[in-house]
Amino acid sequence: RQTASLEYNRPLAEGRWATTLVWGRVHKIATDANLNSYLLESTLNFRRRNYAFSRLELVDKDELFPQAPVHPAYRVGGYTLGGVRDLIQDRAWQLGLGADVTFYSKPAALDPVYGDRPVSFQIFLRMRPGRSH
């Protein structure tokens, strides 16, 4: 297993911008195959209470059909866009209401199982420790 990452974090007048880029590789000894993954994630915190985020992923997967005698590798992508608004912010904790949507890319060979245009979404409450400053 190999990984490498870069991170960027910049304070703003009323928030922060943080971005991470990650690459990973798993070497499968049994098949002598390398499976790669790529991730780019970024969050922009603005006007103290608002967050816009994105996550772009590409992953090589060979475990989608474990019952198959041959395990071909497929490159699957997930592309997420979302946002959160903090409803409560104090020294002890924060509570935010958020939503996101994820669009997926995949080879056409996976259409019978996953459909031709898979999409997911979520609406969530985020609770976390408060700001330390």
Specify the residue for token string 């990984």: 3
- Is the predicted pLDDT of residue 28 greater than 80, yes or no? yes
User: What is the average pLDDT across 69-75?
Assistant: 80
- Is the predicted pLDDT of residue 69 greater than 70, yes or no? no
Q: What are phi and psi of 73, to 5 degrees?
A: -90, 135
Which is more confident, 132 or 87?
87
pLDDT-based confidence at 132, cuts 50/70/90?
A: low
Q: Percent of the chain at pLDDT above 70?
A: 94
- Is the predicted pLDDT of residue 66 greater than 80, yes or no? no
- Is the predicted pLDDT of residue 93 greater than 80, yes or no? yes
- Is the predicted pLDDT of residue 70 greater than 60, yes or no? yes
CA atoms within 13 A on the CB side of 23: 5
The span from the CA of 96 to the CA of 84, in Å, is 6
Report the mean per-residue pLDDT for the chain. 93
Ranking 4-8, 26-30, 61-65 by mean pLDDT, the lowest is: 61-65
Does an H or E element contain 35, and which? Answer: strand 33-46
Q: What is the pLDDT of residue 65?
A: 76
Nearest to 99 by CA among 131, 126, 128, 127: 126
